[in-house]
Amino acid sequence: MPRILLIEDEIKTLEALQEGLRESFASRVDAAADGLAGLELALANTYDLIISDITMPRMSGLAVCRELRNRHYSTPILLLTALGDTDHIVEGLDAGADDYLSKPFEFKELMARAKALLRRAAPPPQASLLRFADLELNTEAKSVQRGGQAISLTPREFAFLELLLQTPGRVFSKAEIAEKVWEIDFDTGTNVVEVYVNYLRNKIDKGFDKKLIHTQFGQGYVLREI
């Protein structure tokens, strides 16, 4: 039975979502009506999922997300936003959010996103070490190193790299990356995948003679030693 934290300043929306989540998951759903109260609850308790609006009094959802990630808080975070343009989407994901949902939305869409995040948060059945060239990723320790040098990745960057490392040489399209890494269908008008490719290149390839992350023009991205 998952325990969920819901942070939303619109009281009617808060109450409706809290009741719906309780009934759907048969779970405990704690609620906070502003960002600071939500942050305090998150730090005082253990949750399986946090759902937070972005625009709130006292502390925004983005600030809550950043503060939790700065404290190495790994619980999945789903941001709710009325700001659906690419810049705000990227800002939310860059703050450490695992997913976003633009308002207005149907409750079944929220449920689908919540279930996907809860599945992903479940512990893996066994440890796995993925290697390619001098790059190594440990799925149990959540660690990455290249050439013996430790590399720090965000949870989303880690998932992205893990996907590439599972089948080096295979070209992944933007749509497939969005589906497998974010477990949602991204609007083709956004550039979130490209943004995260750049993040990974700056951490994985920068400073090394051989580049491993390559663009296959018109097709997608591939892990390849050239």
Buried b (16+ CB within 10 A) or exposed e, 147-165: eeeebebbbbbbbbbbbbb
Domain end position, chosen among 96, 121, 146 = 121
Number of domains forming the structure of the chain: 2
Task: Give the integer Cα–Cα distance in Å for 119 and 176.
Answer: 18
Q: Which contacts of 116-125 are long-range, i.e. CB under 8 A and separated by 24 or more positions?
A: 116/183, 116/184, 117/49, 117/76, 117/78, 117/183, 118/2, 118/48, 118/49, 118/76, 120/76, 120/159, 120/183, 121/48, 121/49, 121/75, 121/76
| Domain membership of residue 71 as a residue range | 3-121
pLDDT reading at 69 higher than 80: yes
pLDDT reading at 186 higher than 70: no
Same domain assignment for residues 12 and 107 = yes
Domain end position, chosen among 121, 147, 182 = 121
What mean pLDDT, rounded, does the chain reach? 88
Confidence of residue 163 (pLDDT cuts 50, 70, 90): very high
Same domain assignment for residues 8 and 66 = yes
Q: What is the pTM of this model?
A: 0.60
What pLDDT shows up at residue 93? 83
Domain end position, chosen among 86, 121, 156 = 121
Q: 47: domain CATH number?
A: 3.40.50.2300
Same domain assignment for residues 11 and 104 = yes
Same domain assignment for residues 10 and 84 = yes
Which of 16, 105, 23, 106 is CA-nearest to residue 31?
Answer: 16
- Cβ within 8 Å of residue 84, ≥6 positions away: 102
DSSP of 95-137, one letter per residue? TT-SEEEESS--HHHHHHHHHHHHHHHSPPSS--EEEETTEEE
Same domain assignment for residues 7 and 117 = yes
Which of 131, 132, 154 is CA-nearest to residue 202?
Answer: 154
Average pLDDT rounded to a whole number, residues 80-87? 71
> 24-63 pLDDT, tens per residue?
877 789 999 999 999 999 999 989 999 999 989 999 999 9
pLDDT reading at 189 higher than 80: no
Task: Give the integer Cα–Cα distance in Å for 203 and 5.
Answer: 32
Same domain assignment for residues 115 and 153 = no
Same domain assignment for residues 20 and 67 = yes
Same domain assignment for residues 17 and 51 = yes
> 6-30 pLDDT, tens per residue?
999 999 999 999 999 988 877 789 9
Question: Residue 77: how many CA atoms within 13 Å on its side-chain side?
Answer: 29
Residue with more model confidence, 88 or 116: 116
Same domain assignment for residues 20 and 117 = yes
pLDDT reading at 126 higher than 60: no
Q: 212: domain CATH number?
A: 1.10.10.10
Same domain assignment for residues 93 and 70 = yes
Same domain assignment for residues 172 and 114 = no
Q: What are phi and psi of 101, to 5 degrees?
A: -145, 125
Phi-psi category of residue 183: left, alpha or beta, with phi > 0 → left and psi -120 to 50 → alpha: left
Confidence of residue 141 (pLDDT cuts 50, 70, 90): confident
> What residue spans of the chain are helical by DSSP H?
11-25, 35-44, 61-70, 86-94, 107-121, 155-166, 174-177, 192-204
The answer to whether the CB of 130 falls within 8 A of the CB of 139 is: yes
Task: Give the integer Cα–Cα distance in Å for 21 and 174.
Answer: 31
Same domain assignment for residues 154 and 117 = no
